[in-house]
């Protein structure tokens, strides 16, 4: 995502995130390139793939879905929800699941409300899990060691969101071309 195998830390992470949020087409093209590379390596078509991301990765998979790439589904864990390029009815193809902390200061209530308004306008097949006592990075069992008061591990939210994601992907692959769940295999 950042070029030449770069792994970012500290302020460089925040700078990159600000840059990608200001230039959503740049982010989308990089995520699409990563998907194309995975498709080439795996031999799978995007329609047979899902996207899964945490934090920045969660933001990335949402932007991938919003861009109209026909992946089967995406799941975002504590990813940013707001965008300058909302999904449209004409482009959105992927099912979307979002799992976020109710106390996450990086995903405030107005961003959740905007996402909830965006999805029906795009005729999305979507779901949203909000874990009331969870902060940002609630799935990271080592995050408490950072001492950042905006982040915290929440075991119950971690386990519950993972189980919900597995079920979401399971149903996504059992859908017929009409978008209905084939109850014989669900």
Q: Nearest Cα to 101, choosing from 142, 155, 49?
A: 155
Q: So what's the pLDDT on residue 182?
A: 46
pTM, two decimal places: 0.88
pLDDT tens-place string over residues 158-177: 999 999 999 999 999 987 55
Q: Each residue of 120-152: b (16+ CB within 10 Å) or e?
A: eebebbbeebbbeebbbbbbbeebeeeeeeebb
Domains of the chain: 46-174 (3.40.50.1820)
pLDDT tens-place string over residues 11-43: 877 787 788 777 888 888 888 888 888 888 998
């Amino acid at each position: 995502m950042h070029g030449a195998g770069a792994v970012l830390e500290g302020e460089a992470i925040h700078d990159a995130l600000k840059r990608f949020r200001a230039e959503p087409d740049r982010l989308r093209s990089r995520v699409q390139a990563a998907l194309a590379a995975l498709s080439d390596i795996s031999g799978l078509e995007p329609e047979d793939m899902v996207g899964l991301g945490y934090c920045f990765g969660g933001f990335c998979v949402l932007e991938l879905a919003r861009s109209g790439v026909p992946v089967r589904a995406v799941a975002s864990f504590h990813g940013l929800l707001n965008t300058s390029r909302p999904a449209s009815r004409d482009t959105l193809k992927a099912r979307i699941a979002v799992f976020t902390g109710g106390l996450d200061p990086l995903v405030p209530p107005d961003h959740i409300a905007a996402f909830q308004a965006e999805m029906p306008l795009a005729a999305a097949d979507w779901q949203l899990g909000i874990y009331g006592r969870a902060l940002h990075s609630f799935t990271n069992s080592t995050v408490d060691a950072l001492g950042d008061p905006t982040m915290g591990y929440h075991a119950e939210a971690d386990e519950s969101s993972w189980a919900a994601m597995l079920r979401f992907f399971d149903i996504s692959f059992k859908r017929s071309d009409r978008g209905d769940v084939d109850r014989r295999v669900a």
